[in-house]
Amino acid sequence: MGIVRLESWRLDLPLKTPYSIAYQRVERAPNIFVRLVTEGARIGSGCAAPDEDVTGESPEATEAALAGPAAEMLRERDADRPVHLMELLRVPLAAAPAARAAVDMALWDLMARRAGLPLWKLLGGYRERIATSITLGILPLEETVEEARRRCREGFRVLKLKGGLDAAEDAERVRAVRAAVGAEVALRFDANQGYTPEATRVFLAATAECALELLEQPTSAARPDQLGELGRRTVPVMADESVLSLADAYRLARAGTIDMVNVKLMKVGGVAEALRLSALARAAGLAVMMGCMDEAALAIAAGLAVALARPGVTHADLDGHLDLGEDPTAGAVRLDAGWLYPADGPGLGVSL
């Protein structure tokens, strides 16, 4: 099945409620959409959501990678050979993992549609749904508590709080949320690289009675050794920005400095690479959380397909689409009382 052309275009999707994390404030989310058109007018859809602080590529760089090397190298190639095609793109798109992710998910979408199966079933079909956390940005204490209560009223039973600016203030917010929502709601905390090892220990000591489910990327990704300086931990530590590739995950797993890894399609370069990373993590005894950027529902559907397909993916943080306005792929996934379900239909469930 020959590829006739790759089409791509950018939409800067507005956030209904802008939010802050340790190193930036986010008000709009650039998403670059991809259509792979093949002979017989078959179409596979993909989406890139670059973040220069995480994936190392600007939206402009992603656009250029898709419109240039990707479009040129894929033209007239056989879409039924996705591994071959992604290897062709590995070097020219080495610095553009989100661009690779968009192409990879479009190829998988094509393949699943040809098979007449939803992608999550084609990949393995281990489970039919997964609970997702909902993220609370950095807010004053009272606003954090109110937002936590609101999300619980909506049916969420997993909350992820952002922080990293001040360990003592972060701990105070966590304690207040735990008191407000009770013991039945799981709490996660993401410091987004904002802490030193000492600040991490202060935070963990101050939240020891809060039953945190996990602590995400407390220290700088530029200093992976700092994760090993945290000492004996009572809360599982998860690497996010420290894991951009299979090699990163291998090094951290071998060092024994983490308990979990956050896998995001935009970081690692797509569905196929996420499956490889999940297998490595399982072999190393590490739990996997399927995460996301501020992504349109189409990209969330691809991440969800991986999460549903593999038993080693035990956690999900697939909420990046929920606060996006003007998403042309809304409906690619379905949310019900905090549980995320795939759309009906073959492939990723929606067409561009």
Mean pLDDT across 310-332: 96
The residue among 125, 177, 126, 127 whose CA lies nearest residue 156 is 177
Tokens of 298: 């189409």
Tokens of 183: 């013991």
Mean pLDDT across 176-190: 98
CA distances 293 to 31, 44, 157, 178, 238, Å, are 10, 21, 21, 26, 16
Task: Report the percent of the chain where pLDDT is more than 70.
Answer: 99
Mean pLDDT across 254-258: 93
Domain boundaries, the chain: 3-115, 120-342
Q: For the chain, give percent helix, strand, coil, nearest 5.
A: 40, 25, 35
Q: What pLDDT does residue 352 have? A: 87
Q: What stretches of the chain show up as alpha helix (H) in DSSP?
A: 59-65, 71-74, 82-90, 97-115, 119-122, 141-153, 167-181, 197-206, 246-255, 265-268, 271-283, 297-309
Rounded CA separation 67/301 (Å): 23
The residue among 247, 240, 225, 258 whose CA lies nearest residue 51 is 240
Cα-Cα-Cα-Cα dihedral of 44, 49, 50, 55, to 10°?
-90
Which residues touch 248 (CB under 8 Å, ≥6 apart)?
Answer: 239, 242
Rounded CA separation 345/186 (Å): 32
Mean pLDDT across 4-22: 90
The answer on pLDDT for 22 being more than 80 is: no
Q: What pLDDT does residue 228 have? A: 83
Q: What pLDDT does residue 278 have? A: 97
The residues with which 257 forms a beta bridge, in sequence order, are: none
CATH number among 3.20.20.120, 3.40.50.10610, 3.30.420.40, 3.40.640.10, domain 120-342? 3.20.20.120
Which architecture characterizes domain 3-115 according to CATH?
A: 2-Layer Sandwich (3.30)
Q: What pLDDT does residue 127 have? A: 98
Identical topology for domains 3-115 and 120-342: no
pLDDT digits 0-9 by tens, 124-154: 999 999 999 999 999 999 999 999 999 999 9
Q: Residue 21: which pLDDT band, with cuts at 50, 70 and 90?
A: confident
The residue among 292, 310, 305 whose CA lies nearest residue 333 is 305
Q: What pLDDT does residue 351 have? A: 86
Is pLDDT larger for residue 89 or for residue 17? 89
**Look-up: residue for tokens 């190639």?**
77
Q: What pLDDT does residue 264 have? A: 98
Mean pLDDT across 44-70: 96
Residue 65 identity: A
pTM over 0.85? The answer is yes
Give the strand pairing for 339-342 and 333-336. Answer: antiparallel
CB-CB contact of 102 with 34 (8 Å): yes
Average per-residue pLDDT in the chain?
Answer: 96
pLDDT digits 0-9 by tens, 267-292: 999 999 999 999 999 999 999 999 99
Rounded CA separation 74/266 (Å): 20
Mean pLDDT across 312-321: 97
Tokens of 191: 């410091």
Mean pLDDT across 16-24: 77
Q: What pLDDT does residue 231 have? A: 67
The answer on pLDDT for 232 being more than 80 is: no
